[in-house]
C-alpha cells in the first residue's frame, strides 16, 4: 500500500473506526489513541489483510483487539478511565443527559452478549449488518436478527428501570 492509498484509507475510514472505538471505550482520549494505533497496525500489517471483508471491518477487528488488550492492561494496573465532562453544556442539560445516558447504559449493561455488542456496533458505531456479521464471523441475517432481539430486550429493560 502506498502512502497515498494509506492516506485515502485513513480519511475514508477514520470516523467510522473512531465511532466504533468510542462505543467500546466511552472515553474520547482513549478512543483517539486506540484509533491511531489501529491505523498504525493496519499499515504495518497490511500483508495480513486478505480482502475477505471490507477494510472498515478489518480495521474494527483490529480496534476491538487493541481495546481488549488495553482493558486487560488497565485491570492489571488497577487504572480506571477518567470521565471528562464537556464544559460547553449547561449544568441542567448535563444532568439530564447523564441521567438518560445512565438509564440507557444500565439497560445495555444488562443485555447478554452478543446482543449488547451488536446493538452498540449498529447504533453507536453505525456499522452495516454485513460488517457486524463479518466481525462476529456470522451472516448479515444473523446480525439483523440479533440486533432486532437486542432492541426488544433493551425496550423491555428500559421499562423496568
CATH code of 50's domain: 1.10.1740.10
pLDDT (0 to 100) of residue 22: 87
Measured over all CA atoms, what is the biggest interatomic distance in the chain, rounded to whole angstroms? 53
pLDDT score of 77 more than 80: no
**pLDDT tens track for 24-55:** 888 888 989 999 998 888 888 776 666 666 78
Q: Provide the residue range defining the domain that includes 15.
A: 1-81
Predicted local confidence at residue 71, as pLDDT: 87
Last residue of a domain, one of 42, 57, 81: 81
Do 55 and 10 reside in the same domain of the chain?
A: yes
pTM across the whole model? 0.49
Q: Are residues 117 and 96 in the same domain?
A: yes
Number of domains in the chain: 2
Whether residues 69 and 121 fall in one domain = no
Q: Is the pLDDT of residue 79 over 60?
A: no
Say if residue 59 is in the same domain as residue 106.
no
User: Residue 100 has what pLDDT?
Assistant: 65
For residues 39 and 59, the answer to whether their CB atoms sit within 8 Å is: yes
Q: Are residues 72 and 104 in the same domain?
A: no
Q: Do 1 and 72 lie in a common domain? A: yes
In a shared domain, residues 68 and 120? no
Residue 157 or residue 143, greater confidence: 143
User: What span, in angstroms and rounded, lies between the C-alpha atoms of 159 and 156?
Assistant: 5
Is the domain of 122 the same as that of 61? no
Final residue before a domain boundary, out of 62, 81, 100: 81
Residue 26 CB-density burial (10 A; 0-12 exposed, 13-18 middle, 19+ buried): middle
73 and 100 inside one domain:
no
Q: d(Cα 71, Cα 21) in Å, to the nearest integer? A: 12
Q: Is residue 86 over pLDDT 70?
A: no
Contacts of 81 (CB under 8 A, 6+ apart): 25, 26, 27, 30, 74
Amino acid at each position: 500500500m502506498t502512502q497515498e492509498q494509506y492516506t485515502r484509507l485513513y480519511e475514508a475510514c477514520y470516523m467510522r473506526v473512531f465511532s466504533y472505538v468510542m462505543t467500546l471505550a466511552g472515553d474520547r482520549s482513549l478512543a483517539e489513541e486506540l484509533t491511531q494505533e489501529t491505523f498504525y497496525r493496519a499499515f504495518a500489517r497490511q500483508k495480513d489483510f486478505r480482502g475477505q471483508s471490507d477494510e472498515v471491518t478489518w480495521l474494527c477487528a483490529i480496534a476491538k483487539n487493541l481495546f481488549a488488550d488495553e482493558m486487560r492492561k488497565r485491570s492489571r494496573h488497577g487504572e480506571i478511565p477518567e470521565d471528562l465532562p464537556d464544559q460547553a453544556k449547561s449544568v441542567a442539560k448535563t444532568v439530564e443527559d447523564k441521567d438518560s445516558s445512565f438509564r440507557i447504559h444500565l439497560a445495555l449493561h444488562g443485555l447478554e452478549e452478543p446482543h449488547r455488542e451488536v446493538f452498540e456496533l449498529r447504533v453507536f458505531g453505525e456499522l452495516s449488518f454485513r460488517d457486524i456479521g463479518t466481525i462476529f464471523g456470522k451472516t448479515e441475517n444473523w446480525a439483523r436478527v440479533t440486533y432486532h432481539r437486542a432492541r426488544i430486550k433493551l425496550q423491555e429493560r428500559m421499562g423496568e428501570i
